[in-house]
Structure 1
């Protein structure tokens, strides 16, 4: 793995962004966290377009489903249809417990589907667990 893991968080809720950032900061994995607040910006970031022309390619995307401008399902579908982006693992991190969202996300090749816990401790455990699993357990090659 590279010296610093690049994580893209696609989340429009400032409180969830802050909680995710705080919990990743307390993990032992060296990382850079990038945040965008809607699906259009997510695709611009991933394709390195416009204001994101010089950003690094992320090693992991944490994707909310309910986003403005372009929802997470559309982002996931576009990523997995793109030969450059399709290998990037995508963890859907959402408040939706709807079975149809779970099925649709896996049909669109999400790497994992995680429902955000409502309590702070649970949320922290989930974020740290995602970080640990994807960067300590899973063998991944972005190239």
Structure 2
């Protein structure tokens, strides 16, 4: 799942994963409220959320990324979802707060669009190829 309000960043992230050779299907929403609605709808199904991981921007309209993290942390049906914060903020307080709210990683968006491919490769190499993630319900 990709939670990102900037259409240019959505395109760069999707292209980064494609160029890394990672066959990804993104469910993309553009604000935190839509992300929470989607997650809660998925959690209400018998199998729970059918997501491998979430890429979450912090600076979102309506409901910010911190509120999304808080919702995930506080809901047992969602709390095992790996969440990678991918944001432009380099503020120490944002990093600390993200980890306090159980983010699994904090990544700063590159300033050079070409560097997004490095993010895609890094996420694939660790989170998909190496890390053992909770099973995705079938």
Taking structure 1 as the reference length, the TM-score comes to 0.86
* Separation in 2, partners of 1:102, 1:114: 9
Look up the match of 1:91: 84
Look up the match of 1:120: 113
Moved over 6 A (4+): none
Secondary structure of 1:31's counterpart equals: coil
Say yes or no: does 1:28 pair with 2:21.
Answer: yes
The one of the two structures with greater contact order (alpha-carbon pairs below 8 A, sep at least 6) is 2
Look up the match of 1:77: 70
Structure 1, residues 20-39: CA drift from partner, whole Å, max 9, x if none?
11111223333211100000
Look up the match of 1:67: 60
* Separation in 1, partners of 2:135, 2:29: 21
* Separation in 1, partners of 2:74, 2:41: 16
* Structure 1 residue runs without a partner (length 5+): 1-7, 50-55
* Separation in 1, partners of 2:52, 2:127: 9
Secondary structure of 2:25's counterpart equals: strand
Secondary structure of 2:66's counterpart equals: helix
Please tell me the root mean square deviation across aligned C-alpha atoms, in Å. 1.6
Asked if the contact 1:29/1:135 (under 8 Å) is kept, the reply is: no
* Structure 2 residue runs without a partner (length 5+): 43-48
